[in-house]
Amino acid sequence: MNLNFANLTAPNGALTELSQLIFLKMVEDPELNQITRFMGNQKNGEKVGLLKGFGMLGRPSEGCEPTWENNLVQTSEQVWDIREWEIAEKICYETLLGTLAETATKNGVEIADLTGTQYIDDVLMPLLKVAIRKMILRYAFFGDKDITVYNSETNTSGALVAGSNAKNFNVCDGFWKRIFALVTGGTMSRTAITANTQSTWATQRSAFRTAHYASNLLDDIIDEAPIKLSEASNRVILLNKFFWDAVKADVKKNNVGSELQYKDWFDGIQETSWQGIKVIVLPFWDEIIQNCLMNTTNTGAKMLPFRAIYTVEDNLLTGSKSKDQLNQIDYWFNKDEQQNKILAKDTVGTLILDHELIHVAY
């Protein structure tokens, strides 16, 4: 057995050991505990080698004099593009005066210092950690290093609605930007969602809610996926809540499928199934699409409001230089400014491992 390293960079410090290769055979796990696999200790520019296994093997027996072949394990390589993000906030105690949180402040000359108080430890920090988790998911799926804000007079190609802040999205390129480029380049398969092309949000929604449309579309996504994906274990479909709500309406009103079962996650995310395949419903996709993205070719409609990603677990990677998703949150009191400051800083990047194990719809 030989490995075909022709598609991997020659030893240059980037890939020198087999332990650095990520096998594309997905680890079987009865529970899906994350929607993107997080990988710590990754470096910007670091190469990720992929082992895809042998191609077709076997031939008619030649008896005592077989022809010896040298089939190589198929390999490919991708590169991490990991960028730094930060959160820098300050809090003045005066914003708490007259509110319930005032009871958590200190007394006298220390009133401005919120460190060590119940407000910081039990209220603000837990909320901040949730916000950072949502931020990572926003970058992972909707990140775009080139994104700009729409302006009807000066920037009609901006993909963010007027008044948005591009810095909330431009740290790294996320999965959707990568998907659009790969589909356009012909290296990723797609099922078209015609309802997305309607001229207004009302007609987009109406078309998608037509009887049997959503459930038939979900069936099409599964049927039109690459054979390799259809044969894989640990398959999962990620889709937005508007999409799944229409599927539920079909099941309830039009006698499609059977009663649906749910498992609640965090932030409204739910796990269910369709044709025996795990389905993860992601309301935060709708939140971003509805509130942040701009349809620059038709300002009266939403930007691809119905979307789905059909893949396998561990195919969508989010990487960071840190071992954990969030390395550290620092907060301190600045006596001179009488301000409480919070600083969080880390890195994030995305990769789609195997393009033969993913099928998308939009």
CA distance 43 to 23: 19
Q: What is the pTM of this model?
A: 0.81
What pLDDT, on a 0 to 100 scale, did the predictor assign at position 296?
95
Closest to 357 measured CA to CA, from 314, 307, 311, 316? 311
Contact 306, 193 (CB under 8 A): yes
Contact 319, 36 (CB under 8 A): no
Give per-residue pLDDT as tens, 302-360.
Answer: 999 999 999 998 899 988 888 765 557 788 899 999 999 988 888 999 999 889 899 99
Element (H, E) at 208: helix 201-208
* C-alpha count within 13 angstroms, C-beta hemisphere, residue 315: 23
What pLDDT, on a 0 to 100 scale, did the predictor assign at position 125?
79
DSSP string, 151-204: BTTTBTT-SB-TT--GGGTTTS--HHHHHHHHHHTTSSEEE--GGGGSSSHHHH
Phi, psi at residue 277, to the nearest 5°?
Answer: -105, 135
Q: State which residues of the chain have pLDDT below 50.
A: 1-6, 8-33, 54
What pLDDT, on a 0 to 100 scale, did the predictor assign at position 22?
35
What pLDDT, on a 0 to 100 scale, did the predictor assign at position 101?
67
For the record, the structure tokens of 149 come out as 């804000």
Across the beta sheet with 2-3, what order do the strands follow? 2-3, 72-79, 47-53, 21-23
Please state the separation of Cα 228 from the chain's center in Å. Answer: 22
For the record, the structure tokens of 202 come out as 């009302």
What pLDDT, on a 0 to 100 scale, did the predictor assign at position 260?
80
Give per-residue pLDDT as tens, 154-174.
Answer: 999 999 999 999 999 999 999
Amino acid identity of residue 56, one-letter, is: M
* C-alpha count within 13 angstroms, C-beta hemisphere, residue 161: 12
CA distances from 87 to 49, 112, 345 (A): 32, 21, 6
What pLDDT, on a 0 to 100 scale, did the predictor assign at position 224?
97
